[in-house]
Amino acid sequence: MNPTPRISFYTLGCKLNQAETAALQNAAKKNSYQLVSFREPADVMVVNSCTVTNRADRKTRQALFQARRRSPDGIVVLAGCFPQVNFDSSTEIPGVDIILGTRDKFDLFSAIADFKKTRTQHVRISPVDNRKRLSSAFIAAADRTRAYLKIQEGCNNFCTYCIVPYTRGNPVSRDFDNTITEARELADAGYKEIVLSGIDIGAYTDSGKCLINVLRALEDIPGIERIRISSIEMNTLSDDLIKHIGTSTKIMPHFHLSLQSGSDAILKNMKRKYSTADFSIKVETIRKYIPEASIGTDVIVGFPGETDALFEETVDHINKMRFSYLHIFRYSMRKGTPAADMKNQIPESVKKQRAKVLDDVDSRLRRNYAISFYGTTQPILWERYKDGILYGLTPHYIQIQHPGKIGRHNTISEIVLDKENIVQD
C-alpha cells in the first residue's frame, strides 16, 4: 500500500492569499493528502506567492529554495501573484516543477497529475482580465475557530504604486446565494468567526446586492458569532454600513482603512481617490457611531517625491487620527506601474529611517489603544492553546493571553483586561 502523500503550504502576502491557501488545504484533504508543516519534508510543497514588494519577491524565492532543499525529490509548486507578472523569471528559478497563476492555482491537483506524467516543468498562467464572476467553488477554512470567506477579487483603481490590478485583474464578485450557503456550511462545521476577504471588498455586488446585504444574511446564520471585514477602501465604506456595524451584535467593531499617506500631495500622485480631509471625516463618522472602534491602517513611506516635510505631514495626520495600529510598508518600485517611472525616487536608507519613525508611532498607538480597555470586561474567542495558556482576540482585535485549559479552545468567555493579559507585540 502506498503511503499517504504529504503536502505543505507557505503563504505570503494578504489575507486573500491566506484564504486561498486555506481553500487549497481543504482541497488537499479531499484529494487524500496529509497536511504537514512547511518546515518538514513533503511530497508536494506549495508556495502561494506575493509580488506587491521587492521584499515579497525575495521571500518567494527564499521559500522555493527552502522547499527544494527540504524535499529534494518532492514536487515544488510556485503559485499566485509572482508568476502572474514575472513569467520569464519564474520559469528560470531552479528547482520549480509547477508554475500556476492567480487563477490557475485552483487547478493545483490536476497540474500535479499532469506533471507526474511528463516530469517536465508544467506552467499554467491564464489572463486575469476576462472574468465576469468569481468562482463559487471556494471553501476557505483557516483553523478551527476562524474561517476566511472570499467574496470578491480584483481591482480597477490602478493606484500608481500598485501591481495588484495586473495580478488579480478586474473586480469580480461571488454569487450571493452561494456565499451564504458556504457560510452555513462553515457554521455547521463549528467555525465561530467569519472573515470576509477580497481585494476591494467594498466593491462587492451581485444581483443588486452589496456588502451590507452579505453581512445581514451572515448575521442570521446560527452558529456564526463573529463577523469581521478585511481591509476596505474608505470611499466604499458607506455611512449606512458604519451605522449597521454599530448596532450589530455579531459584526466586530474593527476597521482596516488603507490611508497610504497623510500628505495630500502624495495621495494625488498615488492616484488615491480621497484627500486627508475625506479620510478624517470617515474616521469621525466611525467614532460617532462606534466610539471604541478599532481603526487600523496601511502606510507607505518613501513614495517618489516624498520630502521630509511631506513625510512629517503623514506623521502628523496619523497622530491626529489616533489609529489603533499601523501596517508600515517601504515603497517598492514595481516594473509596469506608473510610480516606477517617476522622478525623485527615495533612497532605501531614507525609507528605512522613516519606517523606523512610524514603527515607534505604531508601538505607542497600540499601547495607548490597549490601555484604554484596562479594567473593562471583554468577550474573548479563544483561538489557540499552548502550555497552559489560551490565546484569543477581543472584538476590537486586541490579542489576549490567559491561563486556561485546552477544552476552552473555540469557546467565548469574558475576562477583565489588564496589562498582564494583553499581549504587547
Task: State the DSSP string of 357-407.
Answer: HHHHHHHHHHHHHHHTTTT-EEEEEEEEEETTEEEEE-TT--EEEEE--GG
Place of cell 457554521: 187
SS3 158: coil
H or E stretch at 294: strand 294-301
The separation between CA 17 and the C-alpha centre of its own chain, rounded to angstroms, equals: 6
pLDDT in tens, the chain (425 residues): 458 999 999 999 887 888 888 889 988 988 999 999 999 999 999 999 998 888 889 999 999 999 999 999 999 999 999 999 888 889 999 999 999 998 899 899 999 999 999 999 999 998 877 666 666 555 555 556 788 888 998 898 999 999 888 888 888 999 999 999 999 988 998 899 999 988 899 999 999 999 999 999 999 999 999 999 989 999 999 999 999 999 999 999 999 999 999 999 999 999 999 999 999 999 999 999 999 999 999 999 999 999 999 999 999 999 999 999 999 999 999 888 999 999 999 999 999 999 999 999 999 999 999 999 999 999 999 988 888 999 999 999 999 999 988 888 889 999 999 999 998 76
| Cell digits of residue 268 | 494625488
Q: pTM here?
A: 0.86
Total residues belonging to the chain: 425
For the chain, how big is the Rg over CA atoms in Å? 22
What DSSP designation does 4 have? Answer: P
The answer to whether 48 and 105 have CB atoms below 8 angstroms apart is yes
| Cell digits of residue 399 | 490579542
